[in-house]
Amino acid sequence: MDRRVVVTGVGLVTPIGIGVADTWSGICAGKSGIGEITRFDCSQHVTKIAGEVKGFKAIDFMPKKDAKRTEEFIAYAVAASRMALEDSGYTIDAANAERVGVLTGCGLGGLAMLELTARTVENKGPKRASPFFIPMLIGNMAPGIVSIQLGAKGPNKSVATACAAGAHAVGDAVMLIKHGHADAMITGGVESVITPTCVAGFNAMKALSTRNEDPQKASRPFDRDRDGFVVGEGSGIMILESLESALERGAKIYAEMVGYGMSGDAYHMTSPPPDGEGAVNCMQAAMTDAGIAPGDVDYINAHGTSTPLNDLYESRAIKTAFGDAATALAISSTKSMTGHLLGGAGGIETVFTALSVYHDMIPPTINLENPDEECDLDYVPNVARQKTVTYAMTNSFGFGGTNASLILKKYAGD
């Protein structure tokens, strides 16, 4: 089989808002979701800012008893999945449940639960550990609980490829539908690790911004004065299904999934190679899979973390992969507004890319006030841009040198 795959539903839980309408309008308006950390006492931490989800209540999306036993990242995945399923109008029932799967990406899982349980065991003894500790810790409980809550009995898997996990999950879900292993997939990424050890660990690597005095200006991809990324949290989920299924039920189609590329840097634990070779190979593989030329791509939702090396090396990679077509590309980093959701980044950013294709609207890169001379492409600075988007790419690159690129195409009808 080689079936065509389309996006028919989207759901978002982000630092910008809960729900697609609030998040997308905020993204297009250049709204920042970054602020001072409220989850824990950050007074002794070097970095005191993050992209926290505000006003989220798990009981709005699942029974109260289940909500009490569910770690935050799992609840975000359930919420975004419910939104996406409702948006799609897809009904999971006894007749199709075994053909509907769940595949999500998550980098670190229930880190907050791990920290809490470690303190409990150390201070009160091992018998005080919660029986829900392991189920609330492991990343695959996100697709597991989503399947339980929604009744999806098809392929069920979690991907843990660091900051590329969400994009890998979507790409893998596309392949399952293309090759007949499922008819529909609930897929995307999720993360919630704004915790003392996470912030301390990234600070120890000197990876985080320390622009604490002006949080909303802290994430500034491709800007000369960028000083690190900002940790974010949330979930982005899509309903993917075969084109045949979508047409049969008259579904709204946001975009068609047409290209998926993967690669490994084989270079360094945390740094991409200076020439961006792995990213180049990944983007070129996605274009080959889509059967398109570099000049066909209208927009790239960049990995764009706001770290000195990533933004420079990704810019070099785009120039190499796209050649003369690079200067005509519109490129933006929505991490300038959401922060970096780590394993969840590819989920929300693929949703943003689908919405860009559907609405012909390119989100801005905010805080791009002093362009880096070596990052000299069109990064759509500070103001969203109305533009016809026929093909769009989204990039996600992770520690260990793991890379993913996805290409979405406008669906114009057959």
- Residues tagged active-site: 163, 303, 340
A 10 A CB-CB count for 274 gives 11
Beta strand residue intervals within 141-231, DSSP E: 156-159, 184-191
As to burial, measured by CB atoms within 10 angstroms (0-12 exposed, 13-18 middle, 19+ buried), residue 159 is buried
What is the rounded distance in angstroms from the CA atom of residue 100 to the CA atom of residue 183? 6
Nearest by Cα to 173 from 165, 330, 294: 165
Q: At what angle are helices 20-28 and 345-359 packed, to 10 degrees?
A: 70
What is the rounded distance in angstroms from the CA atom of residue 15 to the CA atom of residue 198? 18
What is the rounded distance in angstroms from the CA atom of residue 318 to the CA atom of residue 285? 13
Q: Any residues with CB less than 8 A from the CB of 141 and at least 6 apart, and which?
A: 71, 74, 109, 110, 135
